[in-house]
Structures are given as structure tokens and as C-alpha cells.
């Protein structure tokens, strides 16, 4: 089953700079895909298009078989509830505890309390932070904060997980832990798309690699490494 499909997708920003040019790409359910390339190559645009933070200029994007390009504005929240997002800067709310940060993601989509109370501890166990649920973000290390971010993205069990440079601020040892966690989530059946420019991680994982340069796919390799 095709989880994500780009058909002739181009994105041209208002200042006429093309971020993506005629992209054709299929990502199957359960795949783990690295999007690699230098900054400005279109990785972030790719991710923003998937959660419809921006819209493509031409072409169509399908998620789980549904065209999201003609999605009405009031249907966007529904789309985003099925896509978990992880960021380089974690985007945690500093005045809320770990538990509250994760619960927040469920609250705002209207999940009742008993579900929140059941699911948050469960996902915290998955990311290994069960005993830190009452800590505030600034009391945690960078790796732990990223785990909270992953927990928040995954607590709703979305079929797709997008990670934009998730290890960008972390040292190699911590990054490895994060990658193990993402692999586990992928093994459960979640499709994971990760944008990165960290060579060592890509090389260690040996997963599918899609390389972008100036908005064009220049390489798509089944078990690739960073740089051909």
C-alpha cells in the first residue's frame, strides 16, 4: 500500500525560488526513508507539504490514497492527527511537565481524560521516560527532550511519523538512542520519513535514501548510504 505518493509535485515560493521541481516519489506503508541533501535542497519543503503547512504549486500529493491537495482548510486538522511530527528544536512547552506536554497533544484533539491517563504513561514507557513524567523540559537533557517530542508525536499512534533533523542538536551517542527508538516505532508498522544531513546515522541504518539537490531527486536507493 502506498502511504505517501508525490505526482509531479512542484513548489515555487512567492519570490519565484523553486524549492521542489517535479517530484515523483512513492513511499510504502511501513517504510523507513531518509531524505538527505544539503540545506536548501527542499527537505523541509517536502515535510511541510505533507502536513499541509504549505500547499504545492502544481502536482498532486496522496496520503494513504487520498489526494490532500484539494483538502479543505477545516479538514487539515484531521490530516495532521494521522501524521506525527518531530523537530530539531523539540517544540516542547516549557511551563508544562513531560506528562502535560504529551497529554496536551491528546487534549487538543478532544480525547477524553481516561484515554489520556492510559495512553500517556504507555508511550512514556516506550520512550523510556516513565520515571520522568513530572519533570519540566528544562530539567531534561537534549536526548530526553527529543524523546518527549517523539512520545508526543506518537501518543496518538499515527500511521506516519515525520522527523525533521531530529538529531541535529544531539551528540552521536544520544543520536544513536533516538535512532533506535525511531526504528522500534518503525517496526510496529509506522511509516517513518526522516530529513537529515548526518552522514554517520544514514550510513549506520542502511535504509532507503532519497537524495535531494536544488529541489530535484538525484538518487533513490533501497539500502543506501549518505553520498554515493
Partner 1 sequence: MSLVFRPKHIFGETFSSLRRNFLMGFTAITTVAITLFIVGVFSIIVFDIQSVLNSIENQVEIAVYLKDNISDDLKIYIEDEIKEWPEVEEVTFISKDQALERFKTQNEGSDILKEIQGNPLPASFEIRLKDPQKIEQVALRFVDKDGGNIEGVDEVIYGRNYVKKLFSITAVTGTIALLIIIILVLATMVLIFNTIRLSIYARRKEIEVMKLVGATNWYVRAPFLFEGSFEGFIGGGIAVLLLYFLNRFLLIKGETALVETMRIKNLALLGTDNVIIFIYLAIIVIGILIGLLSSGFALRRYLKV
How does 90-103 read in b/e, with b if 16+ C-beta sit within 10 Å? Answer: bebeeeebbbebbb
Q: Which of 2, 17, 55, 93 lies at the binding interface for partner 1 (CB under 8 A)? A: 93
For residues 91 and 180, which CB has a smaller minimum distance to partner 1 in the complex? Answer: 91
- Tell me 90's DSSP state: -
Query: Got the DSSP string for 145-195?
Result: HHHHHHHHHHTT--SEEEEESTTTTS-HHHHHHHHHHHHHHHHTT-EEEEE
Based on the shown chain and the rule CB under 8 A, indicate whether residue 81 belongs to the binding site for partner 1: yes
Q: What secondary structure letter does DSSP report for 106?
A: H
By CB under 8 A, name the one of 15, 70, 74, 131 that touches partner 1.
Answer: 74
109, 187, 188, 218: residue in contact with partner 1 (rule CB under 8 A): 109
Verify binding: residue 171, partner 1, rule CB under 8 A: no
Q: Which is nearer to partner 1, 36 or 47 (CB)?
A: 47
95 in contact with partner 1 (CB under 8 A)? yes
Residue 131 binds partner 1, judged by CB under 8 A: no
Please identify which residue in 98, 103, 105, 133 interacts with partner 1, judged by CB under 8 A: 105
Contacts of 70 (CB under 8 A, 6+ apart): none
CA atoms of 178 and 148, how far apart (whole Å)? 11
Q: Which of 8, 55, 66, 91 binds partner 1 (CB under 8 A)?
A: 91
Q: Which three cell numbers stand for residue 78?
A: 484531521
Tell whether residue 218 is a contact of partner 1 (CB under 8 A).
no
Q: In angstroms, how far is CA 190 from the centroid of its own chain?
A: 11
Among 26, 58, 67, 107, binds partner 1 (CB under 8 A): 107
Distance CA 162, CA 50 (A): 9
Q: For residues 62 and 87, which CB has a smaller minimum distance to partner 1 in the complex?
A: 87
The smaller minimum CB distance to partner 1, of residues 77 and 172, is found at 77
Distance between CA atoms of 175 and 186, rounded to whole angstroms?
16
What is the binding site for partner 1 (CB under 8 A)? 51, 53, 73-74, 77-81, 85, 91, 93, 95, 104-105, 107-110, 152-153, 156
Amino acid at each position: 500500500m502506498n502511504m505517501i505518493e508525490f505526482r509531479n509535485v512542484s513548489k515555487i515560493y512567492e519570490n519565484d525560488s523553486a524549492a521542489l521541481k517535479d517530484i515523483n516519489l512513492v513511499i510504502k506503508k511501513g517504510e523507513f526513508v531518509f531524505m538527505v541533501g544539503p540545506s536548501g535542497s527542499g527537505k523541509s519543503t517536502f515535510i511541510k507539504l505533507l502536513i499541509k503547512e504549505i500547499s504545492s504549486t502544481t502536482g498532486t500529493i496522496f496520503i494513504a490514497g487520498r489526494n490532500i491537495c484539494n483538502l479543505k482548510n477545516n479538514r487539515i486538522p484531521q490530516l495532521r492527527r494521522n501524521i506525527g511530527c518531530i523537530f530539531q528544536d523539540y517544540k516542547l512547552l516549557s511551563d508544562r511537565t513531560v506528562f502535560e506536554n504529551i497529554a496536551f497533544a491528546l487534549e487538543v484533539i478532544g480525547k477524553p481524560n481516561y484515554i489520556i491517563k492510559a495512553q500517556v504513561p504507555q508511550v512514556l514507557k516506550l520512550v523510556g521516560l516513565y520515571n520522568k513524567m513530572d519533570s519540566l523540559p528544562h530539567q531534561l537533557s537534549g536526548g530526553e527532550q527529543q524523546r518527549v517530542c517523539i512520545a508526543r508525536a506518537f501518543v496518538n499512534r499515527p500511521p506516519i511519523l515525520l522527523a525533521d533533523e531530529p538529531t541535529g542538536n544531539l551528540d552521536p551517542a544520544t543520536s544513536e538512542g533516538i535512532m533506535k527508538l525511531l526504528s522500534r516505532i518503525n517496526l510496529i508498522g509506522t511509516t517513518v520519513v526522516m530529513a537529515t544531513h548526518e552522514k554517520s546515522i544514514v550510513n549506520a541504518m542502511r535504509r532507503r535514501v532519497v537524495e535531494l539537490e536544488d529541489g530535484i531527486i538525484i538518487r533513490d536507493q533501497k539500502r543506501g548510504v549518505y553520498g554515493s
